[in-house]
Amino acid sequence: MCGIVGYVGPRDATPIILQGLQRLEYRGYDSAGIAIYSQGEIEIRRDAGKISHLFDLVSAAPLHGHLGIGHTRWATHGEPNARNAHPHLSSSGRVVLVHNGIVENYHTLHDELEAEGVHFQSETDTEVIVQLIERYLSSSNSLVTAVQKALSEIQGAHGIVVFSRDEPDKLIAARIGNAGGVVIGLGDGENFVASDLPAILEYTRRAVFLDPQKIAIITPASLQIQTLNGEIVNWKEQHVTWDPIAAEKGEYQHFMQKEIHEQVRSMTDTIAGRVNFSFGKISLPEIQLTPEFAQTIHKIFIVACGTAYHAGLVGKILIERIAHIPVEVDIASEFRYRDPIIEPNTVTIAISQSGETADTLAAMEEARKKGSTLWSIVNAIGSQAMRLADGFISMQCGPEIGVASTKAYTAPLVDLYLLAILLADLRNTLPTQMRYQLVNDLRRLPNLVGICLDRETEVQEIAHLFTDVSNCLYLGRGINMPTAYEGALKLKEISYIHAEAYPAGEMKHGPIALIDKNLPIIAIAPKDLWNEKMVSQIEQAKARGAKIISIANDGDERIKSLSDRVLWIPQTPWLLSPVTTIIPLQFLAYHIAHQRGLDIDQPRNLAKSVTVE
Ligand code: G6P
């Protein structure tokens, strides 16, 4: 959600910060601002609205300097307007701050400061942090000490960057708790800081990820990291390989469309290097799984949010079917508070594209506290979900920019498939021939995905059927029940059409009452173990006048005869079929939203990475 960028060095900080913020637009925001140190003063431009508007403000009243911070805000306390936009100044005007997080004890601190005579300029919780720093500056005269003292008073999880006009040679960044990632980019005689890597990748590939409860003191030529008590700690630099060009839209109209099309590549990359087709073997070295450990696992929990949760639902079926280990799948925000029973030899797998989702991280912590081994499946390299885990699988998708997740849904499906085979192999529960078969089934997957992508126009052609539609029902069964959930989520997210997903067998227990000619039904009915059941449920809906749009395998005449429209997909091995069945549904949501003229890559009220509870 909130994005942060900071710069200190010989170059003009303004364009670096503005472009960095632009690279974080995908996170979702409702206002933006920048503060630059210039000739002894701190100058700020900020307002509600898009970064293009901030560019306009800066060209109307230019800012130049060698030290600065910028921010995109997603409102939590106080509506999106200029007053509440970051950066925020302390009352003397000497300290300025940007912040990602929620100050949980905001009311207490606010009242305390107000009683001391502080006159607040905004309705934000953030302002209490900068006012606290101001309070401690009066007694210590050192920005680092004042920041340390202020941070020890605030509750919650935070990332901040701050500077003072009295110490214009440095930025101070801090990270408290698990939300609010902070990464420092190391340059040559200059340094960068950001909430996310894409903001600074254009300038450097040398990154230092700040650990929780640490403060970074960043000057053009140096980086020092301290604890909140002022003890100096060692830091490690990482080399990052993501190509910023990969984060450009290229030939596509929207990132979402581009990312749907990138799924052939992400499938290939997911399989590459991990699958030995000759020996029918899988290797996932980063999970650090030994045969001894694999054989002791009694139970697996999967925790995740949103799209990643739907991938987890498929993962349950894959692991239970292939590796015969019981799996429970939990929405992370529920898991963290439901006091789950975690017995010895349990593994908890967190799935997260960003690796920074607050609820998922908290669920991981809960599992850890109860003695579980932790694995994660993450896309963002170096993210917290990756670092917190004992082992991880990285999704080989590259950065995902569109808020509605697409390629980061199909990649973990294959990761979980690989993991299930590996577990079964190490536990000696998979007959050799079946192992070869399962591994071999992966060979054709990128091509099958490619065939689905080539059929985009067929999906586009039916988008007009949804012109006057305000409700939709998605039905699926078995391994494609999560496809129904994910298809409905895509439609809700970007087209704002209410969509509900149901296991088709449950329709008779309630949703059937909704059916009439105005409720389109999207039936996911590939030729698999559940095909017969889907046929009879489609018949029941048809008999009640529903308009049926089916996802079916090429040549399925029975489904064709029952449906108003069919979106055809090639026959796919059933355990991998959720990878292909979802593609027409991703396109469907995309083209309906496009036809409605909506902001596809940044849908209203949504954020790419939800780093607060
Ligand atoms: C947000 C996004 C969703 C995403 C979910 C989980 O709600 O809008 O698209 O699925 O977070 O994100 P994660 O990064 O943990 O996969």
262 and 388 part of one domain: yes
- Distance between start and end Cα atoms, the chain: 12
Nearest to 296 by CA among 386, 356, 372: 372
Q: What percent of the chain has pLDDT over 90?
A: 72
Ligand 1 binding pocket includes 402 (Cβ within 6 Å) = no
Residue reference for tokens 């995905």? 449
- Is the pLDDT score of 78 beyond 80? no
Average model confidence (pLDDT) for the chain? 92
Q: What is the predicted pLDDT for the residue at 243? A: 61
Q: What is the pLDDT of residues 423-451, one digit of tens each?
A: 999 999 999 999 999 999 998 898 899 89
Instruction: Indicate which residue of 149, 407, 542, 608 is catalytic.
Output: 608
Residues 6+ apart with CB under 8 A from 57: 45, 46, 47
What's the whole-number mean pLDDT along residues 570-594? 97
The CATH number that applies at residue 131 is 3.60.20.10
Residue among 377, 405, 410, 489 whose CB has most ligand 1 atoms within 8 A, to mutate? 405
HSE-up of residue 22 (Cα within 13 Å, Cβ side) = 14
- Is the pLDDT score of 266 beyond 90? no
Residue among 333, 601, 609 whose CB has most ligand 1 atoms within 8 A, to mutate? 609
**Contact by Cβ (8 Å): 596, 166:** no
Q: Are strands 158-164 and 95-101 parallel, antiparallel or unpaired?
A: antiparallel
DSSP per-residue letters across 208-231: EEPPTTEEEEE-SS-EEEEETT--
Ligand 1, atom 3, lies closest to the CA of 306
What's the whole-number mean pLDDT along residues 335-342? 92
89 and 139 part of one domain: yes
Q: Compute, in angstroms, the gap from residue 309 CA to the centroid of ligand 1.
A: 9
Residue among 307, 313, 330 whose CB has most ligand 1 atoms within 8 A, to mutate? 307
66-75, 345-354, 472-481, range with the lowest pLDDT: 66-75
Domain containing 467: what range?
Answer: 456-595
Residue among 74, 331, 354 whose CB has most ligand 1 atoms within 8 A, to mutate? 354
Q: What is the predicted pLDDT for the residue at 63? A: 95
**Contact by Cβ (8 Å): 381, 357:** no
User: What's the burial of 457, exposed, middle or buried (CB within 10 Å: 0-12/13-18/19+)?
Assistant: exposed
Q: Is residue 605 part of a domain?
A: no
Q: Which numbered atom of ligand 1 lies nearest the CA of 306?
A: 10
Q: Compute, in angstroms, the gap from residue 251 CA to the centroid of ligand 1.
A: 25
For residues 271 and 421, give the distance between their C-alpha atoms in angstroms, rounded to a whole number. Answer: 13
Q: Is residue 609 part of a domain?
A: no
Residue reference for tokens 């979802």? 582
437 membership: H or E segment, kind and range: helix 432-440
Ligand 1 binding pocket includes 606 (Cβ within 6 Å) = yes
The CATH number that applies at residue 298 is 3.40.50.10490
- Is the pLDDT score of 466 beyond 70? yes
The DSSP code for 294 is H
The model's confidence at residue 588, banded by pLDDT at 50, 70 and 90, is very high
Task: Return the higher-pLDDT residue of 1 and 102.
Answer: 102
Ligand 1, atom 8, lies closest to the CA of 608
Residues 6+ apart with CB under 8 A from 473: 499, 500, 501, 502, 511, 514, 515, 519, 520, 521, 522, 546
Instruction: Answer whether 0.85 is exceeded by the pTM.
Output: no
Q: Pick from 246, 266, 284: which residue ends a domain?
A: 246
Angle among Cα 141, 142, 148 to the nearest 5 degrees reads: 120
Q: Is residue 427 part of a domain?
A: yes
Q: What is the pLDDT of residues 317-338, one digit of tens each?
A: 999 999 999 999 999 999 988 9
- Overall number of domains in the chain: 3
Q: Which amino acid is at 519?
A: L
Q: Which amino acid is at 429?
A: T
| C-alpha of 202 from chain center | 21
Q: Is residue 610 part of a domain?
A: no
Q: What is the pLDDT of residues 269-311, one digit of tens each?
A: 888 778 888 889 999 988 999 999 999 999 999 999 999 999 9
Q: Which numbered atom of ligand 1 lies nearest the CA of 332?
A: 15
Q: What is the predicted pLDDT for the residue at 180? A: 58
Ligand 1 binding pocket includes 354 (Cβ within 6 Å) = yes
Ligand 1 binding pocket includes 384 (Cβ within 6 Å) = no
For residues 405 and 306, give the distance between their C-alpha atoms in angstroms, rounded to a whole number. Answer: 9
276 and 231 part of one domain: no
Q: Compute, in angstroms, the gap from residue 101 CA to the centroid of ligand 1.
A: 17
Other C-beta atoms lying within 10 Å of the C-beta of residue 528: 21
User: What's the burial of 245, exposed, middle or buried (CB within 10 Å: 0-12/13-18/19+)?
Assistant: exposed
The model's confidence at residue 241, banded by pLDDT at 50, 70 and 90, is low
371 and 259 part of one domain: yes
93 and 204 part of one domain: yes
61-65, 306-310, 392-396, 569-573, range with the lowest pLDDT: 392-396
The model's confidence at residue 247, banded by pLDDT at 50, 70 and 90, is very low
463 and 490 part of one domain: yes
Q: Is residue 613 part of a domain?
A: no
For residues 369 and 612, give the distance between their C-alpha atoms in angstroms, rounded to a whole number. Answer: 21
Ligand 1 binding pocket includes 495 (Cβ within 6 Å) = no
608 an active-site residue? yes
Q: Is residue 604 part of a domain?
A: no
Residue reference for tokens 């082992």? 391
Beta bridge partners of 502: 475
- Is the pLDDT score of 80 beyond 90? no
Beta bridge partners of 475: 502, 523
Nearest to 538 by CA among 554, 553, 551: 551
466 and 572 part of one domain: yes
265 and 405 part of one domain: yes
Q: What is the pLDDT of residues 117-131, one digit of tens each?
A: 999 999 988 999 999
What's the whole-number mean pLDDT along residues 534-540? 91
320 and 373 part of one domain: yes
Q: Is residue 511 part of a domain?
A: yes
What's the whole-number mean pLDDT along residues 456-478? 93
In 459-580, DSSP assigns E strands to: 471-476, 498-503, 520-524, 547-553, 565-569
**Contact by Cβ (8 Å): 90, 99:** no
What's the whole-number mean pLDDT along residues 43-63? 95
For residues 497 and 407, give the distance between their C-alpha atoms in angstroms, rounded to a whole number. Answer: 22
User: 373 by DSSP, 3-state: which?
Assistant: strand
Q: Pick from 246, 273, 295: which residue ends a domain?
A: 246
Ligand 1, atom 15, lies closest to the CA of 352
User: 158 by DSSP, 3-state: which?
Assistant: strand
240 and 285 part of one domain: no
Residues 6+ apart with CB under 8 A from 13: 7, 36, 65, 66, 67, 68
Q: What is the predicted pLDDT for the residue at 612? A: 73
**Contact by Cβ (8 Å): 413, 314:** yes
- Is the pLDDT score of 590 beyond 90? yes
Q: Is residue 540 part of a domain?
A: yes
Peptide bond into 285 cis (omega under 30): no
Q: What is the predicted pLDDT for the residue at 201? A: 87
210 and 289 part of one domain: no
What's the whole-number mean pLDDT along residues 566-589? 97
For residues 15 and 144, give the distance between their C-alpha atoms in angstroms, rounded to a whole number. Answer: 27
Q: Pick from 452, 469, 498: which residue ends a domain?
A: 452
Q: Compute, in angstroms, the gap from residue 307 CA to the centroid of ligand 1.
A: 6
| C-alpha of 302 from chain center | 16
67 and 195 part of one domain: yes
The DSSP code for 529 is T
- Is the pLDDT score of 35 beyond 60? yes
Q: What is the predicted pLDDT for the residue at 251? A: 63
